Each structure stands twice: as C-alpha cells, then as structure tokens.
C-alpha cells in the first residue's frame, strides 16, 4: 500500500469562487500525486475538502513566484482572476513574499497583482493587472470567418445567440441578455462551453446591462460549471460591453458572489480588476 502524505492547505474564496491553495515550491506534492488527480480528489465536495479548483504556489526562476491552477475536473486552466486575488493575499499575509506588487508566472503569461492593505497590514483588496484582452479569433481560439467575433451569430441547438469572443488568459464567450434571472445558465452554458467552434472549449458569461457603469453577470466556467464568480470573465464582459457601446471603459460587475470593479485602460490596453479575497479555513489532509 502506497504511503500516505499529509498536506497543509488553505481554503480561500474570491466572491464565492473557492480554491484550495497548496505550497509546492519543494515539489514534494507533485512527486507523490499528479496535480490533475489531486484536484479531483481535493475538490470533491462530498469526499474531499470541496472547491472549484486547486492553486499551486511554485518557485520561479524569472518571476517572483509561479501560479498554476487546476479545475475540479482535473483540467488545467491558464488563469483565474478570483484565484489570483486569493493567491496574492495569501503570499503577502503569510509573508511568503513581502512586496505589495508581485510579478507572477501563469500559464497565460505574466500577471501582476497588487495588494491594498489596511492599518494593520492586512490585505483589504487586490488590484490585478490582467494584461491585454485578445480579440483575434485565431488566438482565442474561436472558429470564425472574421478576424474578430463581435456579436457574432452562434447556433446552439435550434437557436442562435450573438456572442463576443474574448481571450483574457483563457477563452470567453460573452452574451448580452435582457434578464439574467430568466436564462437557463446550466443548459446553455454547457452547450456553448463544448461548442465545436471553440476547439479548446470556453467560459460563458451571461450579461445584463444595468446602465453604462454597471453590469449583472452570471457565469458558466469551462471545466467547473456554474460558479458564483469569474474574474477573467468579468474582464471579458467589460471589454465586450465597451466594444459594443454598452458601457464606458469602467464598470462595476455584479456577480452572484459579490462585486468587481473592472477598468480597461485605453492608453495601455490593459484591463485592471479590483476586488476582495477571503480566508475560509486552514487545515491538514492525508492523501
């Protein structure tokens, strides 16, 4: 019988999007169990800790730190905005890193979170430079006759939807609807996630415009299903809303788990996301 390993973990959440954070800078965890298998085990809400994904703290030669994330189904995601805020808060409050602005190596490239602290040096909120949105269908990837897909028709079953395709470190399909409460998120989200025109699958955002400074959003995440929030999805939603003339370059995104302030800086073409992250509990588990 294989010897068990005891792991120290931290459970955190960003707007209800919850993660198990593990420090594997020494590589001991990976030598014992592959990350995809571990993600499935730990994220099980009945037989494990329960989470939308696991986040690994890893060493980096050319960045301050390395971030890797695996969804609850074992698939690897390039990036997750809510997860990145949890990651940055943990690094600063546990003194793994001491600087407030961190250069992080992710599968989507360099991401730079910056912590805002209170008088007790506790993290109040995290502002993340999410980089530039990618609109090229070839790079998202999204199969289209056009270079960019801005409110392009997508046939799902017997119905057509207008979607805007955006890559924010991972692919997104943004749909604008009259009332997000009346949309069958589970059915339509699953169908669009696995649509053949998205060869690497996609996250799906359903957006209701409140006014030119506020959006309501519900999300179906690739590899995780229905979640309470998605940081990269909120960024994609703001970009799509701005491109289609629905909002200015800044808006508050209201998600099931809370609010995110999203700003698309037209000068640098970078998208900035500000929001909270919270510690849920810490513990040890045998695997």
203 CB-contact burial (10 Å; exposed 0-12 / middle 13-18 / buried 19+) = buried
Sign of CA dihedral 235, 237, 240, 241: negative
| Cβ contact 153:91 at 8 Å | no
Q: Name the catalytic one among 43, 86, 137, 230.
A: 230
With a CB cutoff of 8 Å and minimum separation 6, the contacts of 64 are 97, 99, 102, 103, 104
For residue 282, the cross-strand partners are 10
Nearest alpha carbon to residue 56 among 31, 27, 81, 85: 27
Ramachandran quadrant class, 151 (left: phi over 0; alpha: psi -120 to 50; beta: rest)? left
**128 near 88, Cβ under 8 Å?**
yes
| Residue 179 burial class via C-beta count within 10 angstroms: exposed 0-12, middle 13-18, buried 19 and up | exposed
Q: Residue 246: how many CB atoms within 10 A of its CB? A: 17
Is 235 noted as a catalytic residue in this protein? no
| Phi and psi at residue 79, to the nearest 5° | -160, 160
Q: Is 137 a catalytic residue?
A: no
What is the rounded distance in angstroms from the CA atom of residue 230 to the CA atom of residue 221? 8
Residue length, the chain? 287
First to last CA, the chain: 12
**Active-site position among 80, 86, 137, 235:** 80
Catalytic amino acids? 80, 230
């Amino acid at each position: 019988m294989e010897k068990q390993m005891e792991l120290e973990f931290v459970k955190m959440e960003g707007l209800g999007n919850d993660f198990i954070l593990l420090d594997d800078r020494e590589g001991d965890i990976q030598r014992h169990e592959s990350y995809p298998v571990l993600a499935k085990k730990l994220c099980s809400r009945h037989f494990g800790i329960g989470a939308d994904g696991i986040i690994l703290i890893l060493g980096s030669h050319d960045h301050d730190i390395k971030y890797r994330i695996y969804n609850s189904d074992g698939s690897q995601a390039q990036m997750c905005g809510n997860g990145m805020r949890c990651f940055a808060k943990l690094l600063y409050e546990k003194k793994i890193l001491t600087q407030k602005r961190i250069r992080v190596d992710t599968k989507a490239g360099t991401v730079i979170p910056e912590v805002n602290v209170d008088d007790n040096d506790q993290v109040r909120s995290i502002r993340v430079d999410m980089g530039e949105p990618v609109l090229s269908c070839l790079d998202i990837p999204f199969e289209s006759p056009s270079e960019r897909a801005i409110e392009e028709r997508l046939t799902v079953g017997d119905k057509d939807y207008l979607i805007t395709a955006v890559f924010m470190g991972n692919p997104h399909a943004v749909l604008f609807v009259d009332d997000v409460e009346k949309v069958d998120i589970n059915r339509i989200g699953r169908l669009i996630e696995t649509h053949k025109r998205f060869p690497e699958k996609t996250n799906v955002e359903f957006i209701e415009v409140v006014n030119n400074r506020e959006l309501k959003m519900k999300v179906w995440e690739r590899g995780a299903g229905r979640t309470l929030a998605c940081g990269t999805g909120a960024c994609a939603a703001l970009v799509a809303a701005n491109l289609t003339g629905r909002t200015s370059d800044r808006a508050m995104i209201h998600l099931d788990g809370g609010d995110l302030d999203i700003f698309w800086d037209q000068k640098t073409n970078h998208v900035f996301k500000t929001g909270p992250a919270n510690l849920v509990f810490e513990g040890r588990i045998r695997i």
